[in-house]
């Protein structure tokens, strides 16, 4: 795993340099309940440096990513008021069929992020 320095962060305490996404939620099987989770008020730098491959292609996210949500269960999640920076992908949502992710994504700020939100199904 490559270590990335946490320089040039917009606020003290920014999370960066983790193997998985800065915030990662997985539901590995149908019926697991992640509904109602809220990801809010975080400062997230470069993460997902050593991503897991639990779900296999095409659900693997092999790029630097701030928030990673992969679910084999249908869920509703809120992602709001986060600052995400220095990542290829800001928010990665992977829906393992037949699951569906309903995501309420508002008021996030992205700096030096190529793709703000990526959805894979």
How does the average pLDDT of the chain come out, rounded? 87
Using pLDDT thresholds of 50, 70 and 90, give the confidence band for residue 14. Answer: low
Domain residue limits at 56:
23-120
- Residue 1 within a domain: no
Share of the chain above pLDDT 70, in %: 88
Instruction: Tell whether 104 is covered by a domain.
Output: yes
| The total number of structural domains that make up the chain | 1
Q: Is residue 57 part of a domain?
A: yes
Q: What is the mean pLDDT of residues 90-94?
A: 96
Is residue 12 in a domain? no
Q: What's the pLDDT at 109?
A: 98
The DSSP code sequence of 22-88 is SEEEEE-STT---TT-EEES-EE-S--SS---SS-TTS---S-EEEEEEESS-EEEEEES-EEEEEE
Residue 59 lies in a domain: yes
Phi, psi of 46 (to 5 degrees): -70, 125
Q: What is the pLDDT of residue 65?
A: 94
User: Poorest-confidence range of 3-7, 44-48, 59-63?
Assistant: 3-7
Least confident of 10-24, 75-89, 90-104: 10-24
């Amino acid at each position: 795993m490559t270590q990335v320095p946490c320089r040039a962060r917009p606020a003290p305490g920014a999370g960066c340099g983790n193997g998985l996404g800065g915030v990662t939620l997985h539901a590995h099987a149908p019926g697991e309940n992640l509904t109602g989770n809220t990801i809010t008020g975080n400062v997230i730098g470069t993460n997902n440096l050593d991503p897991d491959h639990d779900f296999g292609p095409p659900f693997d996210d092999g790029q630097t990513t701030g928030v990673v949500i992969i679910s084999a269960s249908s869920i509703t999640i809120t992602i709001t008021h986060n600052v995400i920076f220095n990542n290829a992908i800001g928010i990665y949502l992977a829906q393992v069929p037949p699951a569906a992710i309903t995501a309420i994504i508002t008021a996030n700020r992205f700096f030096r992020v190529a793709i703000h939100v990526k959805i894979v199904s």
